[in-house]
Amino acid sequence: MNENFSLKPYNTFGVEAYAKYFTEVTSLDQLQEAINFSHSHHVPLLILGGGSNILFTKDFEGLVIKLNLKGITEQILDQNHVLVYAKAGENWHEFVTYCLNKNYGGLENLSLIPGNVGTSPMQNIGAYGTEIKDTFVSCTVLNNESKEIETFNLEQCKFGYRDSIFKQEAKGKYIILEVVFRLTTAHHTIKTEYGAIQSELENLGIQNPTIQEVSKAVINIRQSKLPNPKEIGNAGSFFKNPSISLKQFEEIKQKFENIPGYSNREMVKIPAGWLIEQCGWKGKQIENVASHKLQALVIVNATGLATGKEIFDFSTQIIDSVKEKFGINLEREVNII
């Protein structure tokens, strides 16, 4: 067990914070032992995957467990489908690449998302018209209190936009150990409608893309606007895209006629990046923290010296100015500790 352990290398914002205790586990037995330690020392637990959706605003006065359970297995389901079982500590993009190399379809639009497989159900990760709920079958979890292993199916996970039961009523209660996906082995469904995929494929001179080519296009688009955490600390989109009523949208449109919005029955989803840019934040830096110059929704540790508190306060200023200008509440996507 490590004590007073620096978490700086373990979060993609690259902020300094100390864990009272820290351990990495590679087996279920080690995980159980670590949980017992936290119970006997009466300290809270925090599970860490890749640290790419977390902001430490202070030290953690408990036990941080970095979950490194590894392994991928498969089971052919029928002529067109395979079940793929991946342990929580597998890196997400390496897992996607593994599936693409085997020509298993369904995850290609989710290429290059940082973090681990075990975290993917937490916020039902999504990008370019796909979310994990589209291929998710179930996940195995360890109940922190009863120490029992349980299984959650698709319905039980209550997936929503950047949301699941694990972020809501079951928060902190379960540790996700393994996730099962149902992928295609033939007759793949190619999804190119979203965003810039189609035009990127045209740039690449591709007409009838394979799943591997869709992945390539997604990777190119992501690399063109999202900062690489290895170069500049960040956690991707800091806020969720807000949904407002059609009525509120029409009212705002009277004053800001260019406001973009994607309507879904009576609600309209607004790109938070646009709202933030309109408030003058895009590329703006205050001391060590900035809104990214190519994507206003991404807050970056511009100097590498930012504290979590500084980043949090910067995000509060953004929330306040969007609220003041548009009357819209932005909700943080990143998990704040």
What minimum distance in Å lies between the beta carbon of 315 and ligand FAD?
15
**Within 10 A of 192 (CB to CB), how many other CB atoms are there?**
20
Q: Identify what 88 binds: ligand FAD, ligand EPU, none; CB under 5 to 8 Å per kind.
A: ligand FAD
With contacts defined by CB under 6 A, name the span among 116-124, 145-153, 198-206, 323-331 that binds ligand FAD.
Answer: 116-124
Burial 298-321 (b: 16+ CB within 10 A, else e): bbbbbeeebbbebbbebbeebbeb
Residue 144 CA, chain-centre distance (Å), reads 23
What minimum distance in Å lies between the beta carbon of 195 and ligand EPU?
5
Query: In this structure, are residues 63 and 20 in contact, taking their beta carbons and an 8 Å threshold?
Result: yes
Q: Which residues contact 219 (CB under 8 A, 6 or more apart)?
A: 111, 112
Within residues 231-260, the interface with ligand EPU by CB under 6 A covers: 236-237, 240-241, 260
What minimum distance in Å lies between the beta carbon of 299 and ligand FAD?
11
Nearer to ligand EPU, 157 or 177 (CB): 157
What minimum distance in Å lies between the beta carbon of 254 and ligand FAD?
32
**Within 10 A of 44 (CB to CB), how many other CB atoms are there?**
12
Per CB under 6 A, 234 contacts ligand FAD: yes
Per CB under 6 A, 47 contacts ligand FAD: yes
What minimum distance in Å lies between the beta carbon of 167 and ligand FAD?
8
Q: Identify what 140 binds: ligand FAD, ligand EPU, none; CB under 5 to 8 Å per kind.
A: none
- 162 among known catalytic residues: yes
CA 95 – CA 107 distance, rounded (Å): 9
- In the block, tokens 């290398």 appear at 9
Per CB under 6 A, 46 contacts ligand FAD: yes
With contacts defined by CB under 6 A, name the span among 14-22, 78-86, 123-131, 319-327 that binds ligand FAD.
Answer: 123-131
Q: Identify what 118 binds: ligand EPU, ligand FAD, none; CB under 5 to 8 Å per kind.
A: ligand FAD
Query: In this structure, are residues 157 and 64 in contact, taking their beta carbons and an 8 Å threshold?
Result: no
CA 81 – CA 114 distance, rounded (Å): 26
Alpha-carbon torsion 322, 55, 159, 188, what sign? positive
Per CB under 6 A, 235 contacts ligand FAD: yes
Q: Which residues contact 279 (CB under 8 A, 6 or more apart)?
A: 318, 321, 322, 325
- 333 among known catalytic residues: yes
Nearer to ligand FAD, 65 or 252 (CB): 65
Q: How far is CA 58 from CA 43, 132, 181, 307, in A?
A: 16, 31, 36, 9
- 237 among known catalytic residues: yes
- The four Cα atoms 307, 312, 315, 317 give a dihedral, to 10 degrees, of -100
Helices of type H across the chain: 28-40, 92-101, 154-157, 197-203, 211-225, 246-255, 272-278, 308-326
Annotated catalytic residue within 52, 237, 291, 315: 237
What minimum distance in Å lies between the beta carbon of 274 and ligand EPU?
3
Contacting residues toward ligand FAD, per CB under 6 A? 12, 46-54, 67, 88, 113-116, 118-120, 122-123, 125-127, 175-176, 226, 229, 234-236, 335
Contacting residues toward ligand EPU, per CB under 6 A? 127-128, 195, 236-237, 240-241, 260, 271, 273-274, 277, 282, 295-297, 333
The residues assigned a catalytic role are 162, 237, 333
